[in-house]
Structure 1
Amino acid sequence: MLLARLTQLVRFTQRGCHKCPSLPVAVAVVRILIAGAVLAAVGVIDGATAFAVHPTHSSLAEMEWNQKTKRIEVSLRLDSFELERELSFLHGKTVNLETTPEITGLVRTYLAERISVSTPACPQCRIHWHGEELEFREFWVYFELELQPDADSQRRAPQSPLDSRKDESVSQTAAARKLQQQLRDPTQILPAVTESDDLTESPGTGGIAPSAAAGKPGEPGREATLPTELAGLTVRNTIMAAPGSAQVNYVTFRCGQREISVHLTAEKSECDLDAEFRVPHAQPAGKVKP
C-alpha cells in the first residue's frame, strides 16, 4: 500500500515538472523514500526468517571432564534479560543482576535446582562455584560439578576461613582459571564463594545402565566410551524450561579428544550422555556439530 501511494506521487510530480522547476527535487526525494521502504520491507522479512531459524530463548552450557580433579567443569551462558524476568517472577519482586544485593545467592540457588549430572553409582552431584560475569545481554556462570555417591557424602564438617580459602584455591582448576582469564572486565565478577555457599547440593536424576562397550575413541568399528567414573552419565537442565515454553538449553560435553552436543527442552529436560557419546556422531574436540 505504501509503495503504491509513493509510486502514484512520483507520476503526479513528473507530470507537473514542466510547470514548476522545483518539482524534480521533489521527485528525487520521493524516489529515495521508495528505496528506503523497499529496504525496510526486506529487512523485516530477513529478520523474521532469522528468528525462526535461531530461537532467542536459549542457554549454552559448555561442559568438560577433568580427569585429574574428577569433576565436570562448566561455563554456562544465559540471557541476562530473561534471567532477570525469571527471577523477578519467582520471587515476586524486581530482580536486577547489577543492583540486587543478594543476586549471587538467588542465581546460584536457582541454577542448583535446575542443572545437575548423575550416574547410577552417583545419583547426586555437588556444585563448586567459581564466579559470575555480566556482559549486558549475556550472563556467564562458572562452576564445577562433582558426582557424589549418596546424600550423606554431601555433608562435611564446618571449615575455618583458612581451610575454606585452601579448598577454594585447590578447586580453581587450570580450565577454570583459563575461563576467568578471558573475562573482559574483572570488576564485573560477582563476589567469590564463601564457606557458607561454596558447596550447593543439586538433585540428581535416575540412572541408566552403565555401558559395557570398549574401544578407543575414533577407532574404526569400535565405540568410544566414557571413563569408568562417568558410566551411565545423565545430564538434566530445566533452566527457564516451563511447560510449553520455547526455551532450548544447549549442552556441549567434552571428554578427552571427543565431544557431543545435545539440546534439552521442557519436553525433554535430560539426556543420557553416555549413550550419546558412544554413537558415531561424537565429534573430535573443537569440531562441534552445527
Structure 2
Amino acid sequence: MKLLVLFYYFFLHPFHTSVTEMTYNGKEKSWEIAIKLFQDDLETALSVYSKRNFKVSADKEVEKVLESYVRKHFGFSVNKSLQTPYRFLGFEPQNDAIWVYLEVPTTQDLSGVFLENSLLVESFDDQTNLIQVAKGEQKKSFLFQKGKTIQQISW
C-alpha cells in the first residue's frame, strides 16, 4: 500500500498547483474570485490544519474549516497591514478539484494592493499558485510559491 501511494505522488501527481481567476464584474461592482485546488492536496492541507483526518464533503463543518483555512492563506492588504475584506461564497467539488468562490465588493482596480496566496505551501514544498487577474482589457498573471507568497498587484 505504501509503495502504491508513493507511486501516485511521484508519478501520477508530479506537481502541486492551484489556479485562481480574479475577474472584475463592472455590473456588480465587485471582484469575482474562483480558486481551483486539487481535492487530494486540499484534504492533506486541511487535515494538517484541523489536526484530524479530513475529507471534503457538502457539510457545514467542512465549509467552516475550509473558509478558515482560505482566510488564513489568501487575502489582500494595503501597505501590508490594512486587510481588505472579502466574502466567502462557498465551494463546489468538480471531478478531482474543489472550486472555492470569493467576492470583493469594490470599484477599485486593486493596483498597489498586496495579495497573499500561501494556499497549500505549508504542505507541499513544490506548491505553486497561479493567479490570473483581469479587469476589462487589462490582464496580468502572478506566480506564488514558497518564499514568494505576497506580491503587489500592478498593471
- The two structures have a TM-score, normalised by structure 1, of 0.45
Could you say which residue in structure 2 is the equivalent of 1:129? 88
Could you say which residue in structure 2 is the equivalent of 1:266? 146
* Paired residues, number: 146
Could you say which residue in structure 1 is the equivalent of 2:56? 97
Q: Is the 8 A contact 2:18 2:128 kept in 1?
A: yes
Could you say which residue in structure 2 is the equivalent of 1:220? none
Q: Aligned AA for 1:107? A: L
Q: Is the 8 A contact 2:114 2:151 kept in 1?
A: yes
Match of 1:58 among 5, 8, 17: 17
Query: Which fold has the larger relative contact order, with Cα–Cα distance below 8 Å and residues 6 or more apart in sequence?
Result: 2
Is 1:77 the counterpart of 2:61? The answer is no
Q: Is the 8 A contact 1:119 1:231 kept in 2?
A: no
> Does the C-alpha gap of structure 1 residues 228 and 263 become closer, same or farther in structure 2, counting only changes over 3 Å?
same
Q: For the residues of structure 1 that align with 2:127 and 2:115, how far apart are their CA atoms?
A: 17
Report the Cα offset of residue 109 of structure 1: 0.5
Q: For the residues of structure 2 that align with 1:108 and 1:93, how far apart are their CA atoms?
A: 16
Cα deviations by residue, 1:50-77 (Å, 9 ceiling, x for unpaired): 97xxx52011110012345443210110
Q: How does 1:1-290 map to 2 (within 5 A)?
A: 56-98=15-57, 102-120=61-79, 123-146=82-105, 230-242=110-122, 245-274=125-154, 277=155
Partner SS state of residue 56, structure 1 = coil
Q: Aligned AA for 1:125? A: T
Partner SS state of residue 94, structure 1 = coil
Partner SS state of residue 113, structure 1 = helix
Q: Which has the larger radius of gyration?
A: 1
Cα deviations by residue, 1:91-114 (Å, 9 ceiling, x for unpaired): 221111127651000000100111
Q: For the residues of structure 1 that align with 2:49 and 2:149, how far apart are their CA atoms?
A: 20
> Does the C-alpha gap of structure 1 residues 92 and 119 become closer, same or farther in structure 2, counting only changes over 3 Å?
closer
> 1 or 2, which has the higher helix percentage?
1
> 1 or 2, which has the higher strand percentage?
2
Report the Cα offset of residue 237 of structure 1: 0.4
Cα deviations by residue, 1:15-36 (Å, 9 ceiling, x for unpaired): xxxxxxxxxxxxxxxxxxxxxx
Cα deviations by residue, 1:85-137 (Å, 9 ceiling, x for unpaired): 111122221111127651000000100111112334x8212121223111231
> Does the C-alpha gap of structure 1 residues 66 and 247 become closer, same or farther in structure 2, counting only changes over 3 Å?
same
> Does the C-alpha gap of structure 1 residues 112 and 91 become closer, same or farther in structure 2, counting only changes over 3 Å?
same
- The two structures have a TM-score, normalised by structure 2, of 0.80
Cα deviations by residue, 1:169-202 (Å, 9 ceiling, x for unpaired): xxxxxxxxxxxxxxxxxxxxxxxxxxxxxxxxxx
> Does the C-alpha gap of structure 1 residues 73 and 100 become closer, same or farther in structure 2, counting only changes over 3 Å?
closer
Cα deviations by residue, 1:210-244 (Å, 9 ceiling, x for unpaired): xxxxxxxxxxxxxxxxx865341221101011287
Unaligned runs of 5+ in 1: 1-46, 148-226, 278-290
- Percent of paired sites with the same residue: 22
Q: For the residues of structure 2 that align with 1:230 and 1:250, how far apart are their CA atoms?
A: 17
Report the Cα offset of residue 146 of structure 1: 4.2
RMSD over equivalenced CA pairs, Å: 2.8
Partner SS state of residue 55, structure 2 = coil
